[in-house]
Amino acid sequence: NVARLTKKSKGPTIEPLEDGSIVAHFSGKGRGAEYGMKLISSCKGLFLTLISLPFLHSNFVNLAIPILSENGIMWQIQLPLGHSSIDMFSVSDLAYIVPNIFLDKKKYHMKKLKLSAEKISLTEVAKEMSKFFGKDIVYNPLLVSEFASLHIPNAECLAQMFNFFQSTSSKHKVEETRNLMTPHKPQTFSDWLQLNSKHPSFTEVGLTKQGDPIQSLCVFGATGEQGFNVMEGLLLGGAKNSYRVRAVVGDMTDRNKIALQKLSHLFPTTVHVDFDDKKSIENAIKGVDGIFLSTDFLGKGYPYYSEKKAKLILNACEKEKSVKHIVCTSVENFEDRQLQGLPKKEYFSKENPSTNLN
């Protein structure tokens, strides 16, 4: 109950609205939680844990998003949160916290967990955003009364909420949150920004430009360790977008057949390619937006084939105008480096592909 808490705090006074409410959407939840604590305290075998969330990082893609000023040269975060640091948290971290609570129900029974990933000021947030987006972003602190007069839904109630965030009653526990998330670490604002920088809201306010999304991909080396993990990431929900994926394979060896069986649950389109045939490669990538390329230099016993294969694929990508992005796993070419004290020696032979690494 926010009204009762604010009487005990050393923060700013929160004036009730005309209906007598103080941060109604918080107080309603609080009264429900108080009822639960009272009811379950006398129920054997039934456990209850309360979680209290602070200011959420996700507010920065709606209520707290930087808005381009009238002069068109800077963006402003306009909130009545003063200049002190406040607690912040990412809702995605509940994915780690809630399961841990269920694993140890007795430890957290009748506990009120006030979660926080960090304490950070809005001035620091604006600096982080400026650095990340390369734009001039500043924090313009409003008075609570100024925010309450804005023509947005529930402005007065939200103004009370921001006032409450500055009070001592709203202080949360960073260390307790870290312990709850072990072995994971809470997501800081900087972490959240990197993961959510492509949110459409940032494009709408002019902080990012909308590019053509990658929708269809070819994965070369799909049956290898690297390609297999890329396929899983693209098709099992690890990636944010929905992709159409072609698993590109060459020789149908027993090893490749087994690997393809493991990929079958991902439902990719399988494309067989002759890597010595330029036209075959061009047909495999026709119409796709993205390419993942991993070559196995031991696949035919010597590195020259790996080089030839990579060049054929890259040339095909350059020719196919639909391809927008190529991700290629590689290593450095040491032939152009001065390796002092090391003799130049051929460990692989063009004439003898069976040469080993001895």
> pLDDT (tens digit, 9 = 90+) per residue, 232-247?
888 876 555 678 889 8
Q: What is the mean pLDDT of residues 209-225?
A: 81
pLDDT at position 223, please? 80
| 351: in domain | no
The count of structural domains within the chain is: 2
Q: Do 65 and 112 share a domain, yes or no?
A: yes
**CATH assignment at residue 295:** 3.40.50.720
- Per-residue confidence at 2, pLDDT binned at 50, 70, 90? very low
357, pLDDT greater than 50: no
pLDDT at position 231, please? 84
- pTM of the entire predicted model: 0.57
> pLDDT (tens digit, 9 = 90+) per residue, 79-121?
999 898 999 999 999 999 999 999 999 999 989 999 999 999 9
> pLDDT (tens digit, 9 = 90+) per residue, 172-215?
899 999 999 999 999 999 999 999 998 999 999 999 876 667 88
* SS3 per-residue string spanning the chain: CHHHHHHHCCCCCCCCCCCCCCCHHHHHHHHHHHHHHHHHCCCCCCCCEEEECCEEHHHHHCCCCCEECCCCCCEEECCCCCCCCEEEECHHHHHHHHHHHHHCCCCCCCEEEEECCEEECHHHHHHHHHHHHCCCEEECCCCHHHHHCCCCCCHHHHHHHHHHHCCHHHCCEHHHHHHHHCCCCCCCHHHHHHHHCCCHHHHHCCCCCCCCCCCEEEEECCCCHHHHHHHHHHHCCCCCCCCEEEEEECCCCHHHHHHHHHHHHHCCEEEECCCCCHHHHHHHHCCCCEEEECCCCCCCCCHHHHHHHHHHHHHHHHHCCCCCEEEECCCCCHHHCCCCCCCCCCCCCCCCCCCCCC
Least confident stretch, 31-45, 57-71, 258-272, 281-295:
258-272
| 78: in domain | yes
Domain boundary among 204, 230, 249: 204
Q: Domain of 187?
A: 2-204
Q: Do 320 and 242 share a domain, yes or no?
A: yes
pLDDT at position 35, please? 77
Domain boundary among 204, 233, 252: 204
